A and B are shown apart, each in its own frame.
Chain A
């Protein structure tokens, strides 16, 4: 790094992480985004709001989540040590609830009565529907038609929770198109509606707000590690789609002497072009309201992505990750569908924990690292549980449920 900067001081006042981030939206959304920023600054940072959120996270979500030392697995892999931050034990089964609940509480305080969200794997949709049921808010979730088919259980969960699930048929019929449609809804209904973006993507202040609500993961992990092991981990490893679970774990450690690794979806392999790894194989561009690494063709059209996991199947990534990549503070890499699947089975069989397919990407990289290294402490964000993926796995194994 050229100058010593406090990595936790970003985004800057205009919502940028150096050249990344910003507010690339049409004029109608500028004012609501500014309103959201001021509401966030005045409400969400107040002692009373924090107190309420903390109580909700403890009693309703089940925080703090433990750090579990996977001893059997560590021994099986070699001489390093695998630790899992158990976000899968949160209510609704993933880290997504940290942000959904925080933003729903904020929306309620702002006087909004209707919540919209986009979802890929359905985890953010379920978390948002849950928070809305808890806080008595109307909830509409946009989901790509293709994702609705591959995540039918989560679709039903959202409906049970009282949410309306809108099937999105435009474009590639996946997460990015659901995000487009949610933005179109928001621009039409901005007066009574708050849009809960599920990842650290979108226009400023979303990447900051989502990061802050997810940072509870890293803050807890840092304190737990210090308390239980009197040190910090050597490595942090998390999967990166939009990158909310990753930034949530990473952010509190940015100024520490800890190696940080983000793992993208390599799909069929980076060389095949069938992947969802913009940080590994993309270029900076503008998508969904911010400047960040994206997957685009030579004419600046957004490319189709491929991943076995719906939650990572996104051609962009949070702008803060793009910035951390260019600063060389975080190393971004990818693993293939197959490697992720292998890791899925390994964790399930060696530790009795079924991880989400998204999470399995981080695990796959960590397992290889554990085999190659000695006496290192690897902390992996176990961002979600894999129940939602059982259908996908069974289909791959030709098993009828």
Chain B
């Protein structure tokens, strides 16, 4: 199955809407809860779900996501489990795109070929490996391309113009622009620089790939602000925090997650 992501961005653009991307860690507080949260996301206006693969050494993540990953690891959630959660999700949802997001070592351990084959078989739309920049992921990139899956790369405030060109060339689906120098959950600063850099990525992109922005977006106000000059916005830490806060009361979690996501969706 071809990745849904390009058509999602296209359809949203036609309706003058921005694409809403949300992140959560698979297996925190449990695999079943993750599945429930994914369904809520899909019903509350989320277009693309980035599903985090737990890893012991998440060097790009701030405390909120680190702790979430730790809890998932206590439940022994592996890459195989993450894929099986998507398999279950697909039984009721064929519309929402799912991207697996994580670090290289679990993928390396499974083997790149086996991994992408499994991505294809389970109708997963794309992959984002945080610690595998273009120069270290040529195999993964060509393997994902073979299956018409999206390979999302990061661009950051420190990315040079020349790199922006090569990153957009190798990316498919969208480019994930990291708004801050820092880790997930950092505070947003200097909106004008973000705006300038998003414009720069678009300028250097030959394939007109959508640019989504993430890191530091916490509420509908910042989501709206960021959506003005990008094609999509990504929210992670705030969602992870919300799910954790209400992990003992599933009904409150469902209610709060629904209203939080809906408010963002309306704002963009």
Contacts and interface: CB of A to CB of B under 8 A. Distances in A.
Contact of B159 (A27, A170, A286, A291): A27
A71 B176 CA distance: 63
B108 A286 contact: yes
Nearest to A22: B136
B163 A176 contact: no
Interface-centre pick from B103, B104, B133 (highest chain A CB count, 10 A): B133
Given A30-B163, A299-B78, A285 B109 contact: yes
A28 B104 contact: no
Contact of A184 (B56, B103, B183): B183
Interface centre among B57, B78, B135 (most CB of A within 10 A): B57
B55 interface: yes
A357 interface: no
Interface string A111-151: 00000000000000000000000000000000000000000
A64 to B, nearest CB: 37
A170 B73 CA distance: 13
A23 B136 contact: yes
Given A22-B136, A285-B108, A299-B78, A28 B57 contact: no
A183 interface: yes
Contacts of A287: 57, 105
Interface in A157-204: 170-171, 176-177, 180, 183-184, 187-191
Contacts of A285: 105, 108-109
A24 B104 CA distance: 8
Contacts of A289: 59, 131
A187 B181 contact: yes
Interface string A306-319: 00000000000000
Nearest to B80: A299
B182 interface: yes
A296 interface: yes
Contact of A302 (B70, B105, B108, B163): B105
Interface string B224-235: 000000000000
Contacts of B62: 184
A24 B158 contact: no
A304 to B, nearest CB: 9
Contacts of B108: 285-286, 291, 300
B98 interface: no
Contact of B133 (A27, A32, A180, A291): A27
B182 A288 contact: no
A42 interface: no
Interface stretch (B6-14, B119-127, B149-157, B251-259): B149-157
A353 interface: no
Taking residues whose C-beta sits less than 8 angstroms from the other chain, chain A's interface range is 35 or more
Contact of B131 (A26, A170, A188, A190): A26
B106 A301 contact: yes
Contacts of B182: 28, 187-188
Contact of A30 (B56, B104, B133): B133
A186 to B, nearest CB: 10
Contact of A180 (B57, B156, B178, B181): B57
A188 B62 CA distance: 11
Given A32-B158, A187-B182, A299-B78, A24 B106 contact: no
B181 A27 contact: no
Contacts of A27: 133, 153-156, 158-159, 167, 178
B1 interface: no
Contacts of B110: 300
A331 to B, nearest CB: 26
B81 to A, nearest CB: 9
Contacts of A183: 59
A294 B78 CA distance: 18
A43 interface: no
Interface string B125-140: 0000011110110000
15 contacts: A23-B136, A24-B131, A25-B59, A27-B155, A28-B154, A30-B159, A31-B158, A177-B57, A187-B182, A188-B182, A285-B108, A287-B57, A289-B59, A299-B80, A301-B106
Interface of B: 54-60, 62-63, 66, 70, 73, 78-80, 103-110, 130-133, 135-136, 153-160, 163, 167, 178, 181-183, 186
